[in-house]
Structure 1
Amino acid sequence: MTVQVKITPNGRMSLPADIRRRLGLTRGGALLVEETEDGVVLRTVTQSITHAQTLAKQYTGDNPEASVDAFLSRRREESGE
């Protein structure tokens, strides 16, 4: 769905109520703004976490050695800590 919103001279914009309702932002909330080559993507924090997890899984698969903890453990061993 594409919706046109206006941006005020001071930079504020308003999301339509039905979109806020679907995103669970009825009492306010936070959106993360991602600038891409194609434009701007707005995501809720939950959507951003899900997106990051999906990307991580694409690159690491089910390899337990690809975890942050495994990486840090290897670095500690290599540095003699």
Structure 2
Amino acid sequence: MKKSTPDSLSDASPDPLPEPERVTIDEAGRLVVPARFRKALGIRGRQQLVVGLEGDTIRLRTPSAALARLQAIARQKRRGSESVVDEFILERRAEAARD
């Protein structure tokens, strides 16, 4: 049976995500992110990451991925087409008027 090849780049499937891998944390609390993970996320050189806890999981994200996640959360929390900033200012003005 002949193995099929994609006719164009759009038919090609994306690179699969790296399989989980064990890493060791050294005495100073450092760990090395394996090269194939760094490559998959486009992390090069001395780049900063955002670290967070989600349940019992430590998450490492690139700053752009962390920002996209925060923006998605903010969109979910947004009520209607109101401006969150305008709503905040109105709340603060009402609070100041009560004082």
Q: Which has the larger radius of gyration?
A: 2
- Displacement of 1:60 after TM fit? 1.0
Task: Identify the range of structure 1 (71-80 vs 7-16) with the bigger mean alpha-carbon deviation.
Answer: 71-80
Question: How many residues of Structure 1 are paired with residues of Structure 2 in the alignment?
Answer: 78
C-alpha distance in structure 1 between counterparts of 2:79 and 2:90, whole Å = 19
Question: Mapping of 1:2-81 within 5 angstroms?
Answer: 2-60=20-78, 62-65=80-83, 67=84, 69-78=85-94, 79-80=96-97
Deviations for 1:27-71, whole angstroms, at most 9, x for unmatched residues? 221111111223211111111101111111111155223x1x213
Please give the TM-score of this superposition, normalised by the length of structure 2: 0.66
Task: Report which of the two has the higher share of strand.
Answer: 1
Unaligned 5+ segments in structure 2 are: 1-18
Please give the TM-score of this superposition, normalised by the length of structure 1: 0.78
